[in-house]
Amino acid sequence: MNELITLGEPLVVFASDECDVSIAKSSKFTKRIGGAELNVAIGTKRLGHSVQYITQVGEEPLGEYIAESLSKYGVGTDYVFQSDEYLTGHQFKQRVSHGDPDVANYRKDSAASHLSFNMIDQIDLTGVKIAHLTGIFPAISRTAQNTLKLFIQQLIDNHIFISFDTNLRPALWPSESTMIDSINEFAKLADIVLPGIHEGETLLGTRDPESIADYYLNNGRASAVVVKVGPKGSFVKTRSGHTNMISGFRVDKVVDTVGAGDGFALGVITALLEGKSIDSAALRGNAIGALQVQTPGDNDGYPTQDQLTKFYDSQGVSEEGEVQNYAREV
């Protein structure tokens, strides 16, 4: 039985070992795995929850590396399909001392972009409590977009709670208008939506967290929206009218922002799996995002339960009973 199921494109990430050197000039790289949904799967398992990951990789060394890495992390691979026709997507990533790193993606026509619904329509959803999806997978191909639509309908038919991270990747879409229309349509099918204020500005023309939340609460199935507002934390609003601004955590040094948003998502998801309140879920999302930006990898900062507890202790807060100290009633 798996508590979480997620679907996406995994990437083999060749991360530069040389700081502030361009990808073109770097000569030393460390091989890792990445991808938004994959990051969430790894972090969810690290916090003690069972998870199954759906994807397709190439029947070649990079695909083998992905499958072996997933098994090492304890992520379920029952639905990791292999293609003898298409290759695994990969990425080269710069290492920087501050700001966002440059990346070079090689994912066009990847194996994951050819994952069709007829390959996954018999997936066993028994025991699944949450399905986590993002706006990245439908961007990689028309096939992926159709697969996601049909998979979401399957989840709805089986009464499975859906979380959706808007996760914009403009370079992967044929146009900005197509991206906006598609992402908003997918978001309307989710039970909880996790946008950022920058994404809200692109998708809805506003950076106001409450306006962003109201759009998805009033135009879809969502019972809650949690808007990421950067270092300030996150804004929570539910269909019942509950609102809170949950403060972020101070970080002395930002090493790499990649994976912070995925860390936020897994924080929210795992807290909900444990029956915690939406405010506590947002607090955990803030905490894991803060931990992640202090590490160089895509998912190196995701904590175990013990590490998460120690982080809360170092900040003088706990999820149980003290979230109000980090929440300002709006």
What are the boundaries of each domain within the chain? 4-195+248-329
Q: What is the CA radius of gyration of the chain?
A: 19
Helix axes 36-46, 260-273, angle to 10 degrees: 50
Look at 20 and 258; give whichever has higher pLDDT.
20
- Using the predicted structure, report yes or no on whether residue 113 has a pLDDT greater than 80: yes
CATH of domain 4-195+248-329: 3.40.1190.20
Q: How far is CA 87 from the centre of its chain?
A: 23
- Using the predicted structure, report yes or no on whether residue 325 has a pLDDT greater than 90: no
pLDDT score at 298: 61
- Residues in a beta bridge with 15: 30, 93
Which is the catalytic residue, given 165, 191, 262, 298? 262
Burial of 265 per CB tally in 10 Å (0-12, 13-18, 19+): buried
pLDDT score at 330: 36
Give the span between the Cα atoms of 33 and 41, in whole angstroms.
12
pLDDT score at 327: 45
8 Å CB contact between 264 and 256: no
**What mean pLDDT comes out for the span 119-148?**
96
pLDDT score at 295: 63
Give 178-221 as a 3 state SS string.
HHHHHHHHHHCCCCEECCEHHHHHHHHCCCCHHHHHHHHHHCCC
pLDDT score at 249: 84
pLDDT score at 213: 98
Model pLDDT for residues 167-185, shown as the tens digit of each residue: 999 999 999 999 999 999 9
Count Cβ atoms below 10 Å from residue 146 Cβ, excluding itself: 13
Strands 243-247 and 233-238: antiparallel
Q: What is the mean pLDDT of the chain?
A: 91
Model pLDDT for residues 188-223, shown as the tens digit of each residue: 999 999 999 999 999 999 999 999 999 999 999 999
Helix axes 61-73, 36-46, angle to 10 degrees: 30
pLDDT score at 328: 42
Model pLDDT for residues 13-54, shown as the tens digit of each residue: 999 999 999 999 999 999 999 999 999 999 999 999 999 999
Query: Within 13 Å and on the Cβ side, how many CA atoms surround 254?
Result: 16
What percentage of residues in the chain have a pLDDT greater than 90? 79
Q: How far is CA 321 from the centre of its chain?
A: 27
- Angle at the Cα of 23 (from 265 to 133), degrees rounded to 5? 20
The reply to whether 78 belongs to the active site is no
